[in-house]
Amino acid sequence: MTYLPSADRYQKMQYRRCGNSGIKLPAISLGLWHNFGHVDVTENYRKILHLAFDSGITHFDLANNYGPPPGSAEENFGRILKEDFRGYRDEMIISSKAGYTMWDGPYGDWGSKKYLVASLDQSLKRMDLDYVDIFYHHRPDPETPLEETMAALDLIVRQGKALYAGISNYPADVAAKAIKILKELGTPCLIHQPKYSMFERWVEGGLMDVLGNEGVGCIPFSPLAQGMLTNKYLHGIPEDSRAAKSTGFLQASQLTEERLSQIKKLNDLALQRGQTLAQMALAWLLKDTRVTSVLIGASRAEQLADSLKALDNIAFSADELAQIEAIL
C-alpha cells in the first residue's frame, strides 16, 4: 500500500524560527539515535516515521554513528525515504553529524577537515541524498584548531553538500568562538544541539545567552533525560528498562532515592497540569523562546503520539515554575 501523508499535517504542528535564519523548525523534531538501526524492526520504525510526518514533524535528525551498527540508521532512513517519502524531500529538514568514532585509524573521529568531509560523503551515500539540510560537528575536538573544523563546515556548505552548518555539545565559550569564526567565513552557524533537560541544565550557565545574543537556534537532545522524565521510574526501576540493563547511557546508579523522589513530585505537578511527566518536561523546555525545537526519540509510534500532546500546553504560571525549581 502506498503511503499518503495526512493532508492537514501542517495544521497539527507549531513551527518556530531558527535563530535569525530563514528556516522554521517544528517545535518537536524526531531523532533517530536509537530504534532505527539494523537490529530494529523495520515495520516499527516505518510507523514512527509515518506518524511523525503525518503530525507535521518535518525535521529528522541523524548522525554517522547512529544504529546499531553505526551507519545503519542512515541506511534505513534513506531506504524509507525512497520507498515511502518519494516526492516529499523538499518538505523535510534532514540533518546529520560527525565527531564521534566512526571508522578505524586517525581520520575516523573528532574534528579534522579530512574526517568531516569524508564522513558526510559516506552519509550522503547511505541515505542516497545529494545534500543534507543541516550538518553538525558533533562534539568539540580539543586537539584540532577550531578554525580548521569550522573551515570544514564552511567548505561543505559551499560545496552544496549541506545547506546549513551546526554545532553540538559545545560549551558556551567554545561555541561563541565557533559562531564568530563561521560568521567571518560567511557561513553563519544555524543551530546548536546541546543535552538539556530538567535534570541537565548546564546550558543555562551561559550557552543559552550566547545563542540568544548571536541569533543561533537551539535544539535540545535527551529532553526526557534518557527516560527518567517519564512515568517509567515512578515505582522504582523496571526490569526491562534501560537503567536496569545499565548497558546504555542511563545507569541504575543515576536513579538515587533523591532522584526518584524528584520524579514523583514532578509527576504530581504534571498531573495537576493535565499532562504526563514526559509532556511537561518537553513543554518546560519549549517555554524558552530561544529553544527552536526539542529533539525526541521514540521506540513506538504510541510514544511519539504521547510526546506530541506536550504542545497542547506549553504555558507555565509563575507558581508552577517556582514549584519546579523547588523540586529540582
For residue 248, the model assigns a pLDDT of 64
For residue 61, the model assigns a pLDDT of 99
For residue 254, the model assigns a pLDDT of 79
Residue at grid coordinates 560537528: 137
Give the contacts of 295 (CB within 8 A, at least 6 positions apart): 29, 30, 31, 61, 193, 219, 220, 221, 223
Residue 276 DSSP class: -
Helix (H) or strand (E) holding 68: none
Residue at grid coordinates 504542528: 13
3-state DSSP call for residue 27? Answer: coil
Distance CA 80, CA 66 (A): 16
Q: Which three cell numbers stand for residue 17?
A: 524560527
Measured CA distances, 207 to 168, 175, 194, 218 (Å): 12, 8, 9, 10
Cβ(324)–Cβ(269) under 8 Å?
A: yes
What burial class does residue 77 get, using C-beta atoms within 10 Å of its C-beta: 0-12 exposed, 13-18 middle, 19+ buried?
A: buried
Superfamily (CATH) of domain 9-226+286-314:
NADP-dependent oxidoreductase domain (3.20.20.100)
Give the contacts of 29 (CB within 8 A, at least 6 positions apart): 57, 59, 60, 61, 219, 293, 294, 295, 296
Angle formed at CA 170 by CA 165 and CA 173, multiple of 5 degrees:
110
Type of residue at 177: K
Cβ(196)–Cβ(268) under 8 Å?
A: no
Residue 195, strand partner residues = 221
Domain boundary assignment for the chain: 9-226+286-314
Each residue's pLDDT expressed in tens, for the chain with a length of 328 residues: 799 999 999 999 999 999 999 999 999 999 999 999 999 999 999 999 999 999 999 999 999 999 999 999 999 999 999 999 999 999 999 999 999 999 999 999 999 999 999 999 999 999 999 999 999 999 999 999 999 999 999 999 999 999 999 999 999 999 999 999 999 999 999 999 999 999 999 999 999 999 999 999 999 999 999 999 999 888 877 777 666 666 566 777 778 889 999 999 999 999 999 999 999 999 999 999 999 999 999 999 999 999 999 999 999 999 999 999 999 9
Strand 24-26 and strand 15-17: pairing? antiparallel
Q: Which three cell numbers stand for residue 68?
A: 546499531
Q: In degrees to the nearest 10, what's the CA dihedral of 148, 150, 155, 157?
A: 170
Quick check: pTM over 0.75? Answer: yes
3-state DSSP call for residue 92? Answer: coil
Distance CA 143, CA 242 (A): 33
Give the chain's radius of gyration (CA, Å).
19
What burial class does residue 56 get, using C-beta atoms within 10 Å of its C-beta: 0-12 exposed, 13-18 middle, 19+ buried?
A: buried
Strand ranges (DSSP E) for the chain?
15-17, 24-26, 28-31, 59-61, 93-98, 132-137, 162-168, 189-193, 217-218, 294-296
> 126: closest CA among 164, 82, 167?
82
For residue 251, the model assigns a pLDDT of 72
